[in-house]
Structure 1
Amino acid sequence: MASGGSSFHKGSDMIHDYSCFKCEENDLNTEAQHFCPQCEHYLCQKCVNIHGDYFKKHVVYGRGDIQKWAGFSMDRCAHHGKELEVHCDDHQELCCSVCVALNHRLCTRISHLPDLARGFLQTAEFIQLPAAVYKMRDRLDELKNDRIKDQASLKDSFKDISSEIKAFRKKINQILDKLEKKTIEQLDNMMEDFEKSIKDDLETFALMHDQLSTMIEKLQQSAGKNKESSCYIGFIKCKSKLSEAKSIVQEIREKERMKFKSDEIVLPFLRKLNSLGNVKHVRKTDSIHVYKAQSSSQYKVKIKKDKSICDIVGICELPTGEVVIADYNNKRVKLLNRQYEVIDHCDLQDPPEQLCHITGSEVAVAVNGISVTSYGVHFFTVTKGKLLAVRKFTTDHEIHAIAHHQGKLYMGSHFDLHLYTMDGNIIKTICDEKSPYHIVHRCAVSPDGERIYVINPNTSKLITLDTSGHVLSTEDDSYLERPYGLCVSPSGHMFVCGQRSNTVVQVDKEGRKTLATVARMAHGLWNPRSVWFSEQTSTLIVGNFEDDSITVVQLC
């Protein structure tokens, strides 16, 4: 990098993160060291001194506050300060000349911004943007107020949990105190027994000592008087008493002593514990609203190139409000605008089975063909109302279910459920054909990633699994006959369509019970195969079996 005061002709190949705006006007290439947000100018050391003489009240940020430079100028690059000139369709990024030189030289689809912007002011997407921004600002204000309330709530939770921990510790102490008391009582009883035994032994010792002393004294007196008979009798009695004394001595010598042996289970068990329990971060989520249908409409999705009747097996909505659908019979992925008109499509060699939204304008489509080589996932992106195929990978198994969560793909192969990377590498098999639910026809993931919802149409059940494949709950409501499609919104609202019951039902987050039947045959449902809930418009988008139209149900 050049220093703040050095200059180069504009034709120099020196590339700066930020170039001085004033120097560029004079065909000089100088690295900026300062930024004025009011002028939206990047300035070198020389130019900032001149700027300061003219605009004494302007606040200027130096390199130490470089994080504040970005975001002030709408038409300048946040990374390099250069004017934004092109859009990289491959990466979906606005780029300046430095961005192109450093990061996008190999990209094949670069669009000139003036060409993209031509006529954009009259588009519905641009006209509706302020309302969407105002709505989001209101939502952010609501969340801000909620978070302020959460501060007080968290302090209360901290106090409550601290009290719970202390109360739990108190229970443990009470249990330990009780165990200690019982052990001490055992020790006291043993000590009492030993003290009585020792007292008895001391009395025995004293008695035996006196008896031996008396007997040996009398024996010696009889020997002095040459009384052989008396000596013989005394000898026999003394030997007998001595033998008795030896037995007592031997018995005392072999008596047990007190010894404590701790329970081997207690200490290793306690050492294995990392804490007295787990303090979990439970994220507060919006409450689940129970919806009901207000009105419904039908929209044609058949195009001239379609040779067969449409069969919409997958639906998802993009953040822009555009909708992507998968047409099984015509082997096509179609793009709909906000008015549900088909504005673009991409053809596939094999029929699509299901699709899911990834991030931004990207979707993944599961494809199954006749041969093993045709099993795979195709990725598409939407740019300027165009649906573009960007990449794909193949698998060695069929794919009937696909769902995305935090950069990973959950894919069901009818009998198995696998977790994949976005590059097509399998991470693990969550469940296989030995599982009790056996068939994985469609799947979805909860917003927190802790629950996986699986549909088994043969048993008319919705099964909720944890990430290890263990069954958490099952739902087999009578209003859900042969479930075929499901969706889970970012807020956790879950909807399941019953093909044979001609209904769409709303299910709680745990997948345990049906909250409401929100759409029926009266709303245009006939053998529904796919469903999507739009939180932006509070609508259900439903694809029926072999139907050239989709059904859009307005909820309230």
Structure 2
Amino acid sequence: MATSTKDTEHFDDLLTCTICLETFKVPKYLPCLHTFCESCLQTYIITSTKKEKEFEGFKCPVCRKFISCSKTPEKPETWASTLPKNHFVMSMLDKRAIQRSEKVCNSCQINNEMKTAISWCTICEEAFCEQCDKCHKSFKFLAKHKLISINGIQSGNSDLKISEVLSCEEHPAKIVEVYCVDHSKPCCTLCATLSHRKCENVTSIENAAKGIKKSKLTTTLVKKLYERNKELNEIIENRKDSMTKFETTSENIIQEVSTLKRVVIDHLNKLEEKIKVEVASSKRHVLMKFTDEVNTFSSYKSTSANWQSVLNGSIEQGSDQQCLMEVNKICPKMTILENEMKEETKKMKKIALNFIPSEFIANFKTSAESFGCLNIAEDEDTGTLSVKGCRENVNFRSGDIKILHKIYAFESGATSAIFTGDYLVIVSFSKSNVEKYSLDGKLVQLLAVENYPRDIAQVNQTQVAIAIDNKNKILFVDVAEMKLLRTLNLSGIPVCGLCCVEGNTFIVSHGSTLTWVNSSGKKLKQKTTDGQSFYVSTSDMKDYIYGDGDKSLSRVVGDATKFTYTNTELEHPRGIGIDFEGNIYIAGYWSQNIHQITNDGKLIRVIPIETFGILSPWTIRFAPNSNKFVVTCGGSGQVVLCEID
């Protein structure tokens, strides 16, 4: 059944330009996924670039993200016209017009004739009057196009779905027909020919989109957007409450000062004015800080809410293909948003304004020089500023380590593990299996793979990459369905550990070599280390951390070494873990301990391996945004699931 008019009106906000507050006219969307009328955006860009004197780009009117146009040679007046159209919104507008009996014949409209439409072509995505309908059916190459009665759509007796035919983002004149699973990229036949002809896993867009609305990827994203919007609301309300409390405190201080003033009015008039100025200055400074924080998280909320609205709209109103397109747009941006939220919440402080009366106030006539002093106290607001579900009240630096479960995954051999969603995925060098466990230690599913799987890394929410030692291969596995997706041969590149970095690029490590390869197996660059670089990790996709000698570990940001940590109690470093505060954990294989250091290379503590009840630590990894982590053994095949209190 078609969606009712009321259901369509539920998405009126999605169809309204936030600049002119009217229904979209030629909707264009920005990289941040906010959509505006082309004419509104053009006017805004011209005004913005002149005001800011910025000719390399402009900021989104809603979330203030900078949109770079440095690669666009045209003048700012033409930038809006080069942006992609939001075909999903255009389709929603068409559907609403049909349901409101406002749709006119698109063909006649070109000739400035306003004739009422009676049918809708799902392929052309155009409406036709009675005469144009007959003409459309008369052409042989259009005979297979599906025409739906507009009366049927309005009465709810049609299964019309919007955006069944989608334009390619790279080549707007072409339609999306295929989907590259290797790159998670919808594309037209031209894209497939030029950019994906060597890819092994390419399918039709229809096959790729089957079940996308009810898939774990989509449902997880919907849940995550809901949770993030809820968290952003809590943070904004917290900051607003802090503003109110701070203002109240400020007023109370003023009243206290005024009370003292009335007692000693003749002598303290000047001092009263001085303290008022201090209060006002402190208040202004702090309120500006709170306002900036509210604006920042309001911007995040606007972005997240827009993504949620777009995704819900595509789920309820769009086709499977459209939903797939929106999910592919939002997922990588969601990760960036969460990282930005994490960094901003770390910066937040609980600010209090205190007033301390002068000790000389009793003898003010002879000794008092001021009412007192003001100070602004900034402390971590651990109770209310944490991102719920992502931040727990954890003392990572000295908290006790609690063992939750021990998993005897394999009989022997070095073992590697990683968290994916609500599961733990484990591989062992001595056994040719990938095994998926629930977080209570129970085996859920396994998949047989090639011999000598050495390490495992997260690619996206449902896909992992597995390093195959001795054979120089990377396997890509869908852990939701536990099936092999493809094999990537790395001819001449030794493989032990690996991690996934930005843009589907991988760093593979082995001995004294780090090698960057793309998703097609092409070597991008290589780095020689001082040895023991069997595992490599990344904290924010802009740096990498690796064993750099028998007793050392290095962290590189960009092209510069930020630090090299060396300790006589660290021997043969292996796996590297990073908690959500940025603390780094190094598995000392020979020294039989784990070194916990800060993100700038300062030692926090050395954790003896007896804490975990295994012989030699091999890998250590944390669950995203959690105090839970896993430690694997270098010889027994044991995996220990732990948490820090």
State the TM-score, normalizing by the size of structure 1: 0.51
Within 2, Cα distance between the matches of 1:45 and 1:475?
65
SS of match in other structure, 2:100: helix
**For residue 295 of structure 1, what is the aligned residue in structure 2?**
402
CA contact (8 A) 1:33 1:44 kept: no
The one-letter code of the counterpart of 1:330 is K
2:406 and 2:441 in contact (8 A); partners too: yes
Pair 1:138–1:292, CA change in 2 (3 A): farther
- In the TM superposition, what whole-angstrom CA distance separates every residue of 1:15-46 from its partner, at most 9, and x where no partner exists? xxxx9646xxxxxxxxx999321899985645
Amino acid in structure 2 at the alignment position of 1:299: K
* 1:365 CA displacement: 1.0
| Structure 2 letter corresponding to 1:453 | I
Q: Name the counterpart of 2:546.
A: 454
Equivalent position to 1:48, from 85, 100, 104: 100
- Which residues of 2 match residues 290-369 of structure 1 at below 5 A? 290-302=397-409, 309-318=411-420, 320-369=421-470
Distance (whole Å) between structure 1 residues aligned to residue 397 and residue 160 of structure 2: 45
The CA distance in 2 between the partners of 1:424 and 1:129, in whole Å, is: 29
Equivalent residue, structure 2, for 1:472: 562
1:542 is displaced (CA, Å) by 0.8
Give 1:532's aligned residue.
Answer: 621
Aligned-partner Cα distance in 2 for 1:76–1:20 = 6
Aligned to 1:485: 575
- Return the offset for 1:336: 1.3
* Cα distance change on mapping 1:440 and 1:46 into 2, 3 Å: closer
The answer to whether the Cα contact below 8 Å between 2:405 and 2:440 also exists between their aligned partners in 1 is: no
Cα distance change of structure 1 residues 508 and 151 upon mapping to structure 2, 3 Å threshold: farther
* Structure-2 residue corresponding to 1:245: none
Instruction: Quote the Cα distance in structure 2 between the aligned partners of 1:472 and 1:461.
Output: 13
Alpha-carbon distance change, 47 to 480 in structure 1, aligned in 2, over 3 angstroms: same
Q: CA deviation at 1:541?
A: 0.7
The answer to whether the 8 A contact 1:487-1:495 is kept is yes
Offset at 1:143?
5.1
CA–CA distance in structure 2, aligned partners of residues 301 and 89 of structure 1? 37
CA distance in 2, matches of 1:530, 1:140: 34
Q: Which runs of 5+ in 1 are unaligned?
A: 1-18, 23-31, 51-62, 64-74, 82-87, 96-101, 118-125, 158-281
Matches within 5 A, 1:239-318: 284=344, 286=346, 289-302=396-409, 309-318=411-420
Number of aligned residues: 339
Counterpart in the other structure of 1:515: 604
Q: Distance in 1 between matches of 2:160 and 2:565?
A: 53
Q: Distance in 1 between matches of 2:513 and 2:428?
A: 24
Q: Take 2:515 and 2:464, find their aligned partners in 1: how far apart are those partners?
A: 19
Query: Is the Cα–Cα contact under 8 Å of residues 317 and 534 in structure 1 kept in the other structure?
Result: yes
Letter in 1 for 2:501: H
Q: Find the aligned partners of 2:346 and 2:443 in 1 and give their Cα distance.
A: 34
RMSD: 4.7
Q: Given the alignment, which residue of 10, 27, 42 partners 1:37?
A: 10
5+ residue gaps, structure 2:
15-91, 103-124, 126-158, 166-178, 187-202, 244-285, 294-341, 348-394
In 2: Cα distance, 1:91 partner to 1:410 partner? 17
- Check the 8 A contact 2:457/2:498 in 1, yes or no: yes
Aligned to 2:494: 398
- Post-superposition shift, 1:92? 13
Letter in 2 for 1:345: L
C-alpha displacement at 1:399, in angstroms?
0.9
Contact between 1:293 and 1:553, CA under 8 Å: does it hold in 2?
no
**1:104 lines up with 2:205 in the alignment:** yes
Q: Contact 1:299/1:341 (CA < 8 Å) preserved in 2? A: no
- Structure-2 residue corresponding to 1:193: none
Secondary structure of 2:484's aligned partner = strand
Q: Deviations over 1:125-162 (max 9, x none)?
A: x9x999988865554345546999999449999xxxxx
Secondary structure of 2:586's match?
A: strand
Q: Distance in 2 between matches of 1:151 and 1:343?
A: 52
**Structure 1 match to 2:533:** 440
Describe the superposition over 1:62-115 as per-residue Cα deviations: whole angstroms up to 9, x where unpaired. x9xxxxxxxxxxx9988569xxxxxx996999x9xxxxxx953455x956989x
The answer to whether the 8 Å contact 1:293/1:519 transfers is no
Q: Name the CA distance, whole Å, in 1 between partners of 2:407 and 2:500.
A: 28
Cα distance in structure 1, aligned partners of 2:406 and 2:221:
24
Q: CA deviation at 1:368?
A: 1.4
Give the residue type in structure 1 aligned to 2:552. Answer: K
Following superposition, the deviation at residue 345 of structure 1 comes to 1.6
User: Any idea what SS the aligned residue of 1:509 has?
Assistant: coil
Equivalents in 2 of 1:481, 1:138: separation in Å?
45
1:322 aligned partner, one-letter code? Y
Distance change in 2, residues 1:465/1:156 (3 Å)? same
Q: Percent identity?
A: 11
Written as runs of structure 1 = structure 2, the 5 A alignment for 1:150-299 is: 152-153=288-289, 284=344, 286=346, 289-299=396-406
* Higher-Rg member (1/2): 1
CA contact (8 A) 1:529 1:544 kept: yes
Aligned position for 2:588: 498
Letter in structure 2 aligned against 1:423: S
Distance 2:213 2:454 in 1: 37
Which of 364, 368, 389 is the matching residue for 2:484? 389
1:227-273 deviations in Å (ceiling 9; x for gaps): xxxxxxxxxxxxxxxxxxxxxxxxxxxxxxxxxxxxxxxxxxxxxxx
Please say if 1:411 is aligned against 2:500. Answer: no
Give 1:326 shift. Answer: 1.4
Shift of 1:474: 1.5
Please give the alpha-carbon distance, in whole angstroms, between the structure 1 residues aligned to 2:453 and 2:287: 48
CA distance in structure 2 between the aligned counterparts of 1:34 and 1:156, rounded to whole angstroms: 37
Closer, same or farther: CA 143–506 of 1 in aligned 2, 3 Å: farther
User: Aligned equivalents of 1:507 and 1:414: distance in 2?
Assistant: 23
Alignment-mate amino acid for residue 536 of structure 2: C
Match of 2:250 in 1: none
AA in 2 matched with 1:463:
S
* TM-score, with length taken from structure 2: 0.45
**Structure 2 residue matching 1:140: 3-state secondary structure:** helix
Aligned to 2:644: 555
Query: CA separation in 2, counterparts of 1:80 and 1:298?
Result: 48
Are residue 421 (structure 1) and residue 514 (structure 2) matched?
no
CA 326–35 in structure 1, closer or farther in 2 if over 3 Å, else same: same
8 Å Cα contact 2:532-2:572 kept in structure 1: no
Q: Deviations over 1:458-490 (max 9, x none)?
A: 52211122333x533211234433322112346
Does the 8 Å CA contact 1:20/1:44 hold for their aligned counterparts?
no
Whole-Å separation in 2 of the counterparts to 1:342 and 1:33: 47
Query: Counterparts of 1:478 and 1:428 in 2: how far apart (Å)?
Result: 32
Give the letter aligned to residue 462 of structure 2.
S
Q: Distance in 2 between matches of 1:549 and 1:76?
A: 54
Say whether the 8 Å CA contact 2:618–2:632 is kept in structure 1. Answer: yes
Say yes or no: does 1:541 pair with 2:630. Answer: yes
C-alpha displacement at 1:520, in angstroms?
3.4
